[in-house]
Amino acid sequence: MAESSSLPPGFGELEVLAVGMVLLVEALAGLSLNSLTILSFCKNPEVRTPTHLLVLSLALADSGISLNALVAATSSLLRRWPYGSEGCQAHGFQGFAAALASICSSAAIAWGRYHHTCTRSRLAWNTAVSLVAFVWLSSAFWAALPLLGWGRYDYEPLGTCCTLDYSRGDRNFTSFLLVMAFFNFLLPLFITLTSYRLMEQKLGKTGHAQVNTSLPARTLLLGWGPYALLYLCAVTTDVTFLCPTLRMVPALIAKTVPTVNAVNYALGSELVHGGVWPCLSPQRSKRD
């Protein structure tokens, strides 16, 4: 079914086209905005700080999600998966690793901001590099486990992209999901909430402006929560009772996270203002 050009069960021609176009817009938006963050870090030495290294890690992870969405978009518009079963495994691994790195990088940024605000000391380079290395090695480790037999990658209901297989709901899937979700969703969410809450309390005592503690946590919950609910449902019951179009919704919501993160963490900060805009301004050449 995945390599055939016929429509998958439960989807009409218009629905397949709509999914493909939504994925394409999400992919292009995420790649464009996160490319600004990466370009900022590379172009201007002044913004190459340990704190911004954590933001760079998030931008790279989100770019990976957007690239994954771009492959899914082109396959959806082709109405088939043209890369075979091995391509499906590679697509699932790449997308899952990027998603985990994005979630954990958000938590690392929250901890880095807490460290800077509450200890009044700058984040050290060795600490930032260690955090980034841990995030990516941990994400690659958890994403590789389904390739080794704990968990499994398979096609999404549309049959034009691949993700963690939740259709079986057996002991293998359940054990992997519960352990993975604790370390890669619940724990990062707890770190994010706690770090920003402590920052808010610290700044409240000093009389400074309050920090928006809810936006990063809301991004995690609203962006990845639907996937978490779908997976939790798969643990407790057979998810095939849900229509295929409804089961595609969490994937479409998750692909918006790179765009939201780029706006939240980078575009309004000194990282982009001090990195890209001077490169595009004629004043830059005068200073040089």
Cα–Cα separations (whole angstroms), residue 189 to 52, 134, 145, 230: 20, 17, 22, 18
Tokens of 47: 């913004």
* Average pLDDT of span 26-44: 91
Residue in the block written with tokens 């691949």: 162
Tokens of 26: 């999400």
pLDDT confidence tier of residue 39, bands split at 50, 70 and 90: confident
DSSP-derived secondary structure for 9-62? TT--HHHHHHHHHHHHHHHHHHHHHHHHHHHHHHH-GGG--HHHHHHHHHHHHH
Question: What whole-number distance in Å separates Cα of residue 108 and Cα of residue 153?
Answer: 27
Tokens of 211: 């920090």
Looking at residue 121, what DSSP letter applies?
-
- pLDDT at residue number 288: 43
pLDDT digits (tens, 9 = 90+) for 4-19: 556 677 788 888 899 9
For residue 134, which amino acid is it?
A: F
* Average pLDDT of span 78-82: 89
Nearest to residue 192, comparing CAs of 102, 59, 60, 64? 102
Three-state helix/strand/coil letters over 192-225: HHHHHHHHHHHHHHHCCCCCCCHHHHHHHHHHHH
- pLDDT at residue number 285: 41
pLDDT digits (tens, 9 = 90+) for 272-281: 555 555 555 5
> Looking at 78-87, 103-112, 205-214, which range is the least confident one?
205-214
pLDDT score of 169 more than 60: yes
> Looking at 22-26, 114-118, 244-248, which range is the least confident one?
114-118
Q: What is the mean pLDDT of the chain?
A: 87
Neighbours of 83 (CB within 10 A): 16
CB 30 within 8 A of CB 223: no
pLDDT confidence tier of residue 211, bands split at 50, 70 and 90: low
* Average pLDDT of span 161-175: 89
**pTM attached to this predicted model:** 0.90
Question: What whole-number distance in Å separates Cα of residue 200 and Cα of residue 252?
Answer: 32
Percentage of the chain modeled with pLDDT above 90: 57
Question: What whole-number distance in Å separates Cα of residue 280 and Cα of residue 288?
Answer: 13
Tokens of 50: 């340990």
Question: What whole-number distance in Å separates Cα of residue 205 and Cα of residue 151?
Answer: 47
213: CB partners within 8 A, 6+ apart: 193, 196, 197, 199, 200
> How many Cα atoms within 13 Å fall on the side-chain side of residue 256?
16
